[in-house]
Structure 1
């Protein structure tokens, strides 16, 4: 896995704007680091923003300071999918023909297709094709993402929130990532 500040596969880099307050209480945009993409076999992922608690601690820009830091679990440099407790907003770019490993996380994820078409496949064999604006509410199920286009990249944006582990067919929900 490599990192880069440029969006891969010819996609335009996402711009992130963080709204906060100045010392007089006026709304302003905070300085924000460039997106850092982690390139993988199927595509690339970038953490767009993260908070370390729900509800989020916004006082004195605690969340912004933690996100802009180079260390800590909510740093813009980290690549965890789920932050417990907390919330994570990620941008996932799939290269033409890219296919992720079958995986599950201990979370509820809200994933929205924004560029191209993306297939979402469940371990039971069901599959849906997402077009821009279509979205998945991912609830701890085994799934994989793929880009059905042989020539065009695709992008989805996901917000992941940890969930309480529960029983599925007699087994406790646990994170899993199959080998490709």
Structure 2
């Protein structure tokens, strides 16, 4: 997934400068579910600082769920759900690949209801392309289209792509305390 990341901050004299400009270093296009992809844009396990980080903040297979006060920025491209019903789809291989690249999200998934999960975070999302359905644990659902925004307050939910085209959503997850 080709997502450009521009990082701006301050140099040692306090002057605003571009610190980096390029493709995010950790993204993955799923081999076992074509059309599914993610790009890890930024990650702070704890409360972020304005200091220039000493090293890359993301990793290929580290957590995406931050601790309370932390933040995570990820862009997800959802493949159409119908692809999982096609002949030749191997759910075990797709699940293993998902677990390899998003292990904390894989652990949060409900084994009885595919895709359903709950995170200890307040999540902010915006649909960048396509359409996606947000399904809640209560059974309620709503269709979201390009430009629509989501604020998810740690509720049990799943993302469903009922269309025949990929849907792309950008999320900022903020670690939260139970409240």
**Structure 1 residues 103 and 39 mapped into 2: Cα distance closer, same or farther (>3 Å)?**
farther
The DSSP-based 3-state class of the residue aligned with 2:3 is: coil
Cα offsets for 1:89-140 (capped at 9, x unmatched): 0101111336861111111111111111111101211111111111111111
Q: Does 1:165 align with 2:157?
A: no
RMSD: 2.2
Partners of 1:144 and 1:52 lie apart in 2 by 24
Residue in 2 that maps onto 1:81: 64
Query: In the alignment, is the contact (CA less than 8 A) between 2:43 and 2:64 conserved in 1?
Result: no
**Structure 1 residues 132 and 79 mapped into 2: Cα distance closer, same or farther (>3 Å)?**
farther
Residue in 1 that maps onto 2:158: 144
Residue in 2 that maps onto 1:106: 120
Structure 2 unaligned spans of 5+:
85-113
Q: Does 1:57 align with 2:72?
A: no
How many positions carry a matched residue from both structures? Answer: 144
**Structure 1 residues 32 and 84 mapped into 2: Cα distance closer, same or farther (>3 Å)?**
farther
Query: In the alignment, is the contact (CA less than 8 A) between 1:46 and 1:79 conserved in 2?
Result: no
Residue in 2 that maps onto 1:38: 28
**Structure 1 residues 78 and 33 mapped into 2: Cα distance closer, same or farther (>3 Å)?**
farther
The DSSP-based 3-state class of the residue aligned with 1:92 is: strand
Partners of 2:12 and 2:28 lie apart in 1 by 35
Residue in 2 that maps onto 1:174: none
Cα offsets for 1:36-90 (capped at 9, x unmatched): 2234548222211112332x2223x13xx24x1xxxxx43434423111410001
The structure in which a higher percent of residues are helix is: 2
Cα offsets for 1:126-163 (capped at 9, x unmatched): 1111111111111111111122221x211001111111
Query: In the alignment, is the contact (CA less than 8 A) between 1:112 and 1:133 conserved in 2?
Result: yes
Residue in 1 that maps onto 2:40: 47
Residue in 2 that maps onto 1:122: 136
The DSSP-based 3-state class of the residue aligned with 2:12 is: coil
TM-score by length of 1: 0.70
